[in-house]
Structure 1
Amino acid sequence: MEAKEPLESPRLNALLQALEAGDSAELANFWQEIAQNSTPLIEPIEGDASHYLATFLWRGKEDIHNVVVFAGPAGWDHPQDNQMTRLRDTDLWYKTYRVKADLRVTYLLSPNDPLTRAGNDISDFGTRLLPDPLNHHQFVYQKDDEVPDDKELVVSVLELPGAPAQPWIVPQPSAAKGQLEMHRVRSHILNNERRVWIYTPPGYTKEHEAYNLLLLFDGLAYTNLVPTPTILDNLINEGKLPPLVAVLPDSLDQETRSRELPCHQPFVDFLTQELLPWVHERYHVTSDPARSIVAGSSYGGLAAAFVGLRASERFGNVLSQSGSYWWDIDAEEQLPQERLAQQFIASPRLPLRFYLEVGSKENIGSINMISSNRHLRDILTLKGYEVHYTEFNGGHDYICWRGSLADGLLALTRR
C-alpha cells in the first residue's frame, strides 16, 4: 500500500521527496546506507531527548502484500495495527514507533502474515515469524540436543542508546575464572533425572568458610542465554559479591517445566530433601538461609517466591525476574484457588528478603505481568518484608534478564 499520510521518519521523508523529484538513485543509496548501519532505523526527535523514532524496514516487492512487526514495541496481540506500509511502488516497507530512549527488546517480522495472534505456537518461529534480515544484531536461543525436536530460535534485537548497560556479562581476560561442572541428579520424589550445573568461584577450597549459595532455575538458559558464570566471576573479582556456589538445575522440557515450577510442592520437596543434601555432600556451602538465594525468571521467578514461602528455613532471599504471578494454582493440587500473593497474605511474616523486577513490555493478551508483580510487591511491603522492586523498559526476555541478574544479586547481598 502506498503511503497516504505524512511520514514520521525524517530519513524516509527525505527519501520520498527525492523519489518524487525524480531521483531514482536515492533508493539504492538508502538501501546501501541501511546495509552498513543495520535496522531498525533510529532517529532522534527534536525537542524530546527521552524518546526516539524506531522505524522497522522490509525489502521486498514481488508477492508481498503485508509485513507485520511482532513483539518489541508492537506486542503480540494486534497484528492488524502493526502492519508496515509500502513506500509508493518501491520495494521498501516501513513501520515507525515512538519509543523511550532506554528500550531494549527483541522482535520478529512476518511477511504475508494472516493477521492473527502469534507467539503461542513454537512452530511459528522460523516459519511465520522471522528475524529481521536487515538487522545485524541477533539473539540466538540454541537448540538443546537432549530435548527431542528442539530447534534453534533466532530473534532480532532493538537497543536504544539509553538502554541500561550490561557490563557484567562480558568476560574479563585478566579476571580469575570459576569452574562450571555438569552433573545428573535423580529424583525419587519427582521420578525423573535432570542435569544440574554447579558453579564454584575462583579459588574455591573446602578450607574456606562455607560459601554463600545461589539456587537458580532453568539451568541451561542461565549458563547459555544468561552467562551466569561470567557474571559471577566479574562480580566476585570486583569484590561486589561474596564468593558463592551456584546450583543451576535443568527444567528438562516445557511440559515438565510447566508442571514443576508453578507452585508445585513436590518440586520444593525435591529441592529440600534431595537436591540440597546432594549439594551439601559434595560442596562446601552454607546452611544459613540469610546467605542463600533462590532465583529464577518467568515461571522460575514464581517458583523462587513459592520456595521462599514454603522453605524459608533454607532460603532467606528471593530473586525474581519477571515472575509469573498471574498464575492461579492448579485445582489438581487441591490447594486454595488463589494466587501466590494471597498465600503470602495468609502466611505469617517470614524471614525473607525480595528482589522483584518486571518489564514494561511484558503484558501479553490477558496476562498482565506488570500488575501481578506490582500486586505481589504491595502485599509483601504491607506485610513488612524488605522488597527491592524495579521495572525495566523491555520484554519477557533473557536479553534483559542477563543484564539485571547482577542487580538482583547485588541488592540481596548488600547489607
Structure 2
Amino acid sequence: MNTLHLLDRPDLGSAAWWQDVAAAGTPLRRARTDGDVELAFLWRGTDCAAVCIDVYSHTPHPVAQRTHLQRVGTTDVWLWRTGLPADWRGSYFLLPLAPGQQAPAERAAVRRWWIDLMDRQASADPFNRLPPHGTGWGVPLSPLLLAEAPVHEAWRAVPDAQGLTVQRWHSDRLDTARDIWRLRTGPEDAVPALVLLLDGQYWARQMPIAGALRRLTAQGVLPPAVYVLVDAVSPARRGQELPCNEAFWLAVCAELLPQVYPHAIDPRRTVVAGQSYGGLAALYAALRWPDCFGCALSQSGSFWWPDPDRTEGEGWLAQQVRAGLGSAARMRALLEVGCYETEMTGVNRAMASALADAGHAVAYREVRGGHDWICWRDGLLDGLARLLNDTTIQQG
C-alpha cells in the first residue's frame, strides 16, 4: 500500500487533501526496497508553536530529546518521516505545544514539564483509522501495526468487558482502597485456576481483556479460571508497591485472595503476571510466596531495579536468587522482553539465567517489539496459555 504519494500533491494542506488523508489513514506509508516501510506522521494545525511525537521504543525518550514534526511552509500541515521494519507493532502519541510552552532550561525540571504536558495535551492521532487505547493512566495512544506485524487472533475482535465485575478492596495493611476487577471463565462446576494481573486498570479500561479471555476459554486454549485485575491506583503508589514490596504482597495474600477466590489455592494453577515494574513484582511474589503463586509471567521486567542506570548483569532480585531466595520451591516462569528494548534485554537475560541456575523451570524469549502495551497484550495471552496448560517450562 502506497499512501505516501499524497505528500507530492500540489494541493497539500487543502480541505480536499485532508479529506483524502483521513480516507487513507495515517501514518502515510510506502514499502522500501530494503524491506522496511517509510512512514509519514501528520498533524493539522496553525495555532501551535511545535508538535512533538513519541513512538515508543523508536524515538528518543522525550525527557532526553524531543522529536518534532516540521511545519510545511505556511500550510496547516506538520510532518515527520521515519522508517520502520514491516513487522513493527507499537504505540505512539502526538503532543502539540502552544506558544510559551518550551522546555525549561534545567534538565531536572524537564521530566516534570513533559509529564504535565503529556497528561494535559497528549493526543492520539486523529487520522489513524485504528481504535486508540491509552497508557495505564489514560494518556491517549494510537496503535501502529504494519502489514507484517503479528496480532493475536483473540484481539481481532472488538475488546469488551462483558463478565467483568468490579469491587473496592479496602486494605488495612496498606491503609488504602482501590478497585479490583474479577472475571470468572468456564463452567461454574469446574474448579478454576487463579490468575492475578497487575496494572489491572489497563486491562479493565484501556485494553479490556475480558473478551479475549472468554473466547480463548471457549476454544479450549485457556482452562477455566478466575482472573483478578488489581488497580495500581496512581503512578506514585505503583512505583512504591510493585518494586519488591513485601507489605504489598502480604496484603494481597492475606486480605485480597480470600475475598476473590473461594477455593483452596493450588500454586501449580496460580499465575501472577505483570509488565515492566509489574514483571519485576510478579517474579518477586512467586519467589517469596510459593504457596500462593507457583507460576510467574514477566514481560519487560524492570530487573535493573533499584539502579536505573543498570543495563547489563544482575540486579537486586537476581542477586537474591543467587543467595537462595525461592529455593524452597521450584517455580515455573516465563520471561519475555522486546528486541527493541535495548536497555532491558541484558538484565532480563541475567534474571532468566539466575532462575535457571537455581533449578526453576524458566523460559526466556525476546520478541519482535518494544516496551509497549500493544506488544504485551499478545504475549500475555500466549504466556497465560503456556503456563496454565504446561506442567513444565522448557528453556527456549
Whether the TM-score (by the shorter chain) exceeds 0.5 is yes
- Matching residue of 2:266: 288
Cα deviation for residue 291 of structure 1 reads: 1.2
2:94 is equivalent to residue 101 of structure 1: no
Structure 1 pair 111/241, CA: closer, same or farther in 2 (3 Å)?
closer
Cα deviation for residue 251 of structure 1 reads: 2.3
Post-superposition Cα deviations, 1:8-44, rounded to whole Å, max 9, x if no partner, equal: x9945x855x6xxxxx446646544312111111210
Structure 1 pair 340/120, CA: closer, same or farther in 2 (3 Å)?
farther
Q: 1:30-179 residue pairs with structure 2 within 5 A?
A: 30-46=17-33, 48-49=34-35, 51-60=36-45, 62=46, 66-72=50-56, 73-77=58-62, 82-87=67-72, 90-112=75-97, 114=102, 121-125=114-118, 127-141=120-134, 152-170=138-156, 179=163
Equivalent-residue separation in structure 2 for 1:161 and 1:39 (angstroms): 14
Partner SS for 1:340 = helix
Equivalent-residue separation in structure 2 for 1:354 and 1:179 (angstroms): 28
Cα deviation for residue 413 of structure 1 reads: 2.2
- Matching residue of 1:243: 224
- Matching residue of 1:341: 318
Aligned letter for 1:94? Answer: L
- Matching residue of 1:308: 286
Cα deviation for residue 67 of structure 1 reads: 3.3
Match of 1:371 among 346, 351, 363: 346
Cα deviation for residue 265 of structure 1 reads: 0.7
Cα deviation for residue 289 of structure 1 reads: 1.0
Equivalent-residue separation in structure 2 for 1:355 and 1:127 (angstroms): 37
Aligned letter for 2:330? Answer: P
Equivalent-residue separation in structure 1 for 2:173 and 2:61 (angstroms): 38
Equivalent-residue separation in structure 2 for 1:301 and 1:230 (angstroms): 23
Aligned letter for 1:238? Answer: Q
- Further displaced range: 382-391 or 72-81: 72-81
Structure 1 pair 275/163, CA: closer, same or farther in 2 (3 Å)?
same
Aligned letter for 2:219? Answer: E
Cα deviation for residue 361 of structure 1 reads: 4.3
Q: CA RMSD in A?
A: 3.3
- Matching residue of 1:181: 165
Partner SS for 2:272 = strand
Equivalent-residue separation in structure 2 for 1:287 and 1:163 (angstroms): 38
Cα deviation for residue 239 of structure 1 reads: 0.8
Match of 2:361 among 369, 382, 386: 386
Cα deviation for residue 59 of structure 1 reads: 3.5
Partner SS for 1:306 = helix
Equivalent-residue separation in structure 1 for 2:152 and 2:249 (angstroms): 32
Partner SS for 1:325 = coil
- Matching residue of 2:107: none
Structure 1 pair 361/128, CA: closer, same or farther in 2 (3 Å)?
farther
Aligned letter for 1:341? Answer: A
Q: Unaligned stretches of 5+ in structure 2? A: 105-109, 309-313, 391-396
Q: 1:198-237 residue pairs with structure 2 within 5 A?
A: 198-205=182-189, 208=190, 210-237=191-218
- Matching residue of 1:192: 176
Post-superposition Cα deviations, 1:172-219, rounded to whole Å, max 9, x if no partner, equal: 99xxx98433233332222223332221113213xx3x3211112222
Equivalent-residue separation in structure 2 for 1:178 and 1:201 (angstroms): 11
Higher gyration radius (CA):
1
Structure 1 pair 52/278, CA: closer, same or farther in 2 (3 Å)?
same
Equivalent-residue separation in structure 2 for 1:66 and 1:120 (angstroms): 15
Cα deviation for residue 66 of structure 1 reads: 4.3
Equivalent-residue separation in structure 1 for 2:169 and 2:7 (angstroms): 60
* 1:179–1:202 contact (8 Å) kept in structure 2: no
Partner SS for 1:125 = helix
Aligned letter for 1:157? Answer: P
Post-superposition Cα deviations, 1:342-371, rounded to whole Å, max 9, x if no partner, equal: 1111126441111112234446xxxx3333
* 1:178–1:203 contact (8 Å) kept in structure 2: no
Cα deviation for residue 96 of structure 1 reads: 1.8
Cα deviation for residue 260 of structure 1 reads: 1.5
Partner SS for 1:295 = strand
Partner SS for 1:137 = coil
Cα deviation for residue 298 of structure 1 reads: 2.0
Equivalent-residue separation in structure 2 for 1:124 and 1:172 (angstroms): 30
Q: What is the aligned length?
A: 371
Aligned letter for 1:372? Answer: V
Equivalent-residue separation in structure 2 for 1:195 and 1:232 (angstroms): 20
Q: 1:247-262 residue pairs with structure 2 within 5 A?
A: 247-262=228-243
- Further displaced range: 312-321 or 285-294: 285-294
Partner SS for 1:240 = coil
Equivalent-residue separation in structure 1 for 2:176 and 2:29 (angstroms): 49
Equivalent-residue separation in structure 2 for 1:74 and 1:314 (angstroms): 40
Cα deviation for residue 115 of structure 1 reads: 6.0
Post-superposition Cα deviations, 1:97-155, rounded to whole Å, max 9, x if no partner, equal: 12111211221223457367668754212545333333333523399xxxxxx8x5322
Structure 1 pair 374/30, CA: closer, same or farther in 2 (3 Å)?
farther
* TM-score, reference length from structure 2: 0.81
Cα deviation for residue 233 of structure 1 reads: 0.8
Structure 1 pair 201/262, CA: closer, same or farther in 2 (3 Å)?
same
* TM-score, reference length from structure 1: 0.78
Aligned letter for 1:169? Answer: W
Equivalent-residue separation in structure 2 for 1:25 and 1:228 (angstroms): 43
